[in-house]
Structure 1
């Protein structure tokens, strides 16, 4: 469809009226778009209104166009698009009495397109690139549309073979019944000529059937190969969806809409079943194609079971939680016995062996309550889901730990498994999928460390990894991106960590407060992140950072979002920026001496007449629940200017509560 690809580029430079005139109402641009490849593969140049002998060929092409439009309409989920294609197909019935006119019309459209392209090549060659460089807005789905058309062409070829064979059978029967006697020696009588003509027609029909059979074999091979490629693209996209879902834990953007992927899955399943039917109708064994289609079907079914709503990644035993599994081919499930999905807990080792064995682990490592659910189809939204609403882990069997490894570093997963029977296929297929990694705890005090394991896993694991391998060390710049993303998503703010915040965090985790250089490529380890306590502190880096996030989320979101909190800053940097500021200048920074605290650093007069930097005792979440930060700032008379020089009442006024007018009157007396 090289010509259509080039036209797509040209449209943006053509006047609207030119495009409107190019495609008449009887052959709208939608037909040209959806059938682009097929149209350019046919011979339209042969048609002319005077060539009456081509009327049958034109009629055949017209019927194919109508049939393809009908097939495409059935494949569309969007009702408007479906109705539009059906309407266009119905309107083309008007050509059935004048098929040659249809052939000439398409010929002229292609000629006019080529004329526009030739003119564009001369007048604006810089805009008209090679067709190879043209990218569809959704090339993967366009490939699926082409595959559907290829199967339609295969089905039409098979029907033509069937019709041709019937006609050949009639001609052979007529020949055998009417010309039993040998022709006369002179070979000039009427009967002999009829006999020769019928023999010639039979041979032509046999040759045409042979050509169609070869074409059918080629189309079948192309369709199977195309299905293989389209399904490979689909599975890659499903894996990407799962990966993006996993990364959403640390705040990465994620579109959880599975409907487009479901449509893609359903289309490929229909193609697979149609190709199986075509193999049966061939009438001879084709084991290579049969094996490939069976392999593709199993792979598709396996890939279509998804953990739509993941379980919480830190689960406390005896606590209730929920999760949802979705099957993307739900309306293709054979009716009858309900489909039961079973969940079980598996270890990291068992998760690794799933890929090798493909079976459900026999060893039970935990007792999971309410671990079965029925796969139910929702007619309104077309989703087929099994929802586990009241799951609970009663007990868990731990593996032997190595060295200093703690229970909060041990990763598990939920394995969901079931048997699916597809309509039209009697054999049930065993399919399964696993959840994202989980950490199972027995006490709330383990929650922070367990979450650290999950954060590290979500942030630094690679796609298609062996479950659940993660690196021991990562560059600081990657860690910094993770901390920033997690902070913004957890707090629900658009304000990110600035370069000063990031530099201080690097100094803190590496314990290098005197280094002012670039930390980007320094490697930070899991141990530094959440195993070793910070120097002089009873907590790890992650425990401290998570405490800041929790405080900001609960009490300081608006202040942080408005840029009123400086945040993370070291004492050296603090003294540097405040040393030449007037008395009363202050800034808000997160405490580095305790978890979940915010303090006020301000410039005050010293005993010898100079200046000194004072730090107020940090306010905790409990303090700020009693009295908000705005009111506390209002109460402190020694602070007047928010760094660098904003009067505090101007910037914090909206956060004051109570009778502010009385306060202002008292303040300025």
Structure 2
């Protein structure tokens, strides 16, 4: 399995990694060429122009070969190789080495994400693993029993054929050529043989019943325990929880059990055919009862085998699924867990928007699909399952009804995408449907923040079906334990590190938890809520601070008072990074301590916004930040005692570390962030602006005059 496929399997292409492919390299090209991209040495090409040219030329040849292959084999739904080639030629033909640098960095980031995930994590408890092991053993034993059943049924068939041959061939000859005594003896032997067959058949039927009893227990566990637990893990994964959403176990169990049941029905059918052929009705009623039981179990398994493997998501919001916008394409993937050859190309699945939910959501906006999105399930990869990706779905709003009036906001309306299919197999007609998790349909991109709050809140409160689509008409509160967990997941998804107890303690005060430990929807979501501020910080981390957040260099959620307490006992030059409490868009500041005259003075710089960090990274700001006209650098140790260059040195831009080579005739220059401090701090904590005020100007003039007086006299 390629590195990219492993990332997709573990649902890790989100957060920072998703943003990386949104901004640096097209995700669809990475996906379609995953094996080829990973087979090339982009690290070497990134530092060697000749190798970069060779890699780019080889990539173009590979795309030419793929285009020819598609044309020769008349492949209808192949990746857009010509479009990929056009994009690469347009953006990298003159700079092949830049492509090598981009792909090298992307592959390294992917490896970092996989490395963090591959570390031992308590994804499932020991008791769950033990249950899975028992289920594996039970399913394996069922396969063994069905093989033995086939052999015994074959033996039974031979016994029938032997008896039939004796009765139809030898009995007439014996009656014609021997006396009554010999004929009577042969009849007695035939009767004994018949009784042995009946007894044998009863034993076989009892074994079949034993198999069905075991299968019934396994089906109950699969449908009633394992499948709902997987759905809950997927639900939590959608809102950031690092849960295992692989379907490998479930697909193996569903497939094996379905195969066992279909074989049982085949063997029972053979026994019924034997009864008819040889006029034996002694056990025919038992066979029919067994077949009815097997048929019921097959139907129960089939009707639960269709799952939404990947919930609806727009390509522009890959890190935030379940948010849709009318007229904008979104995707979803469904999988049929019974992966048997007889099901290939049998299932035609059709998505339907808000199927059978009009009565439950009276007053909500109504939508339907723009086109027919039906697809047949097919094997998605060698060794994979029966799946279909609905990659080009979009919806439009129906004409507004005269009495259409909802009592909740747009971002509180919940809708469903239902996937339906009808098919026949082994004489059974199946009508199957499965619904996505509820989705929020926004009308403007500015509503994403509010919509995601609804998605998080609803999923934390709704552990099992049926879904309550009217939950926000009277939303229940969340406990702080629930909310703190989901908030930590947001930071884990955005920056690969969750929140610690101290950070959560500050957020608890911001969110407004009541004395009973509950958080109400109105406090969290509305009226300039804390969530808007938190979401702004998440966006700041995702775009500009992923590395620093992941490494734990940003304390982040710490109040000004707490900052002063932490720094005043530290040596001069110790600083920490904290998020601005006043900026709703997300901003970051740093505070440092300076000891003078036996007192500790803590200074805080004016927060840096996303707009400012777009032009200069935070490590570069920390590297160059100075105070006073003499450009003294006040930042020495990252709290508690890490040398600044040790913490941030590897993130500095190269032009800050190495001077430009001469030859241009100009004096080298570089951007520097400077604050001019007051002569005497008026309070233990002060914010420093980039532009000096009155007292700062006085100090600046004094220092400038002092510098002029120390200059050497002119010749």
Q: Please indicate the TM-score interval, normalised by the length of the shorter structure.
A: 0.5 to 0.7
Per the alignment, residue 474 of structure 1 pairs with: 478
Per the alignment, residue 352 of structure 2 pairs with: 344
Alpha-carbon distance in 1 for matches of 2:550, 2:582: 24
SS of the equivalent of 2:394 reads: strand
Deviations 1:485-525 (A, max 9, x none): 2211222x2x332221111111111279xxxxxx9x71222
Deviations 1:186-239 (A, max 9, x none): xxxxx85x5675455334323312311321231232222222223223334333
Structure 1 vs Structure 2 CA RMSD: 3.7
Q: How does 1:410-421 map to 2 (within 5 A)?
A: 410-421=413-424
Query: Shift of residue 583 of structure 1?
Result: 4.2
Equivalent pair of 1:340/1:372 in contact (CA under 8 Å): no
Per the alignment, residue 388 of structure 1 pairs with: 390
Equivalent pair of 2:369/2:394 in contact (CA under 8 Å): yes
Q: Match for 1:654 among 644, 650, 656?
A: 650
Q: How does 1:516-531 map to 2 (within 5 A)?
A: 522-531=517-526
Per the alignment, residue 327 of structure 1 pairs with: 336
Alpha-carbon distance in 2 for matches of 1:147, 1:548: 53
Query: Shift of residue 143 of structure 1?
Result: 1.7
Query: Structure 2-normalised TM-score?
Result: 0.62
Matched, 1:178 2:182: no
Per the alignment, residue 227 of structure 1 pairs with: 215
SS of the equivalent of 1:421 reads: strand
Deviations 1:150-175 (A, max 9, x none): 33333333333333233334444545
Q: Match for 1:561 among 540, 550, 562?
A: 550
Matched, 1:304 2:322: no
Query: Shift of residue 469 of structure 1?
Result: 7.7
Equivalent pair of 1:374/1:386 in contact (CA under 8 Å): yes
Matched, 1:162 2:140: no
Equivalent pair of 2:365/2:397 in contact (CA under 8 Å): no
Alpha-carbon distance in 2 for matches of 1:348, 1:530: 29
SS of the equivalent of 1:626 reads: coil
Alpha-carbon distance in 2 for matches of 1:198, 1:135: 58
Alpha-carbon distance in 2 for matches of 1:327, 1:351: 29
SS of the equivalent of 1:559 reads: helix
Query: Shift of residue 641 of structure 1?
Result: 3.3
Deviations 1:395-447 (A, max 9, x none): 156996665x311011111111122233x43x542211111221001011111
Alpha-carbon distance in 1 for matches of 2:290, 2:350: 33
Equivalent pair of 2:480/2:513 in contact (CA under 8 Å): no
Equivalent pair of 1:487/1:549 in contact (CA under 8 Å): yes
Question: Structure 1 residues 333, 429: CA separation in 2 closer, same or farther (over 3 Å shift)?
Answer: farther
Matched, 1:644 2:640: yes
Query: Shift of residue 449 of structure 1?
Result: 0.3
Query: Structure 1-normalised TM-score?
Result: 0.66
Per the alignment, residue 213 of structure 1 pairs with: 201
Query: Shift of residue 598 of structure 1?
Result: 0.7
Matched, 1:149 2:144: yes
Deviations 1:446-493 (A, max 9, x none): 1100011111223342134544587722321222222112211222x2
Equivalent pair of 1:490/1:553 in contact (CA under 8 Å): yes
Alpha-carbon distance in 1 for matches of 2:337, 2:467: 25
Alpha-carbon distance in 2 for matches of 1:661, 1:483: 41
Per the alignment, residue 576 of structure 2 pairs with: 587
Question: Structure 1 residues 165, 446: CA separation in 2 closer, same or farther (over 3 Å shift)?
Answer: same
Q: Which runs of 5+ in 1 are unaligned?
A: 1-133, 184-190, 354-360, 513-518, 534-538
Matched, 1:619 2:615: no
Question: Structure 1 residues 141, 584: CA separation in 2 closer, same or farther (over 3 Å shift)?
Answer: closer
The more displaced of 385-394 and 341-350 is 341-350
Deviations 1:69-99 (A, max 9, x none): xxxxxxxxxxxxxxxxxxxxxxxxxxxxxxx
Question: Structure 1 residues 371, 599: CA separation in 2 closer, same or farther (over 3 Å shift)?
Answer: farther
Per the alignment, residue 599 of structure 1 pairs with: 589
SS of the equivalent of 1:372 reads: coil
Alpha-carbon distance in 1 for matches of 2:645, 2:132: 53
Deviations 1:308-360 (A, max 9, x none): 22211111111122222223346545688x7542212117945989xxxxxxx
Equivalent pair of 1:317/1:441 in contact (CA under 8 Å): yes
Query: Shift of residue 589 of structure 1?
Result: 0.5
Matched, 1:279 2:280: no
Deviations 1:545-594 (A, max 9, x none): 11111111211112222222111012332222223334443211011111
Question: Structure 1 residues 571, 232: CA separation in 2 closer, same or farther (over 3 Å shift)?
Answer: same
Question: Structure 1 residues 143, 401: CA separation in 2 closer, same or farther (over 3 Å shift)?
Answer: farther
Alpha-carbon distance in 2 for matches of 1:650, 1:528: 42
Alpha-carbon distance in 1 for matches of 2:369, 2:433: 17
Per the alignment, residue 22 of structure 1 pairs with: none
Query: Shift of residue 661 of structure 1?
Result: 5.9
Query: Shift of residue 619 of structure 1?
Result: 0.8
Equivalent pair of 1:602/1:639 in contact (CA under 8 Å): yes
Q: How many residues align?
A: 498
Q: Match for 1:576 among 546, 565, 571?
A: 565
Equivalent pair of 1:344/1:371 in contact (CA under 8 Å): no
Question: Structure 1 residues 393, 466: CA separation in 2 closer, same or farther (over 3 Å shift)?
Answer: closer
Per the alignment, residue 116 of structure 1 pairs with: none
Question: Structure 1 residues 583, 181: CA separation in 2 closer, same or farther (over 3 Å shift)?
Answer: closer
Q: Match for 2:411 among 408, 411, 421?
A: 408
Equivalent pair of 1:452/1:530 in contact (CA under 8 Å): yes
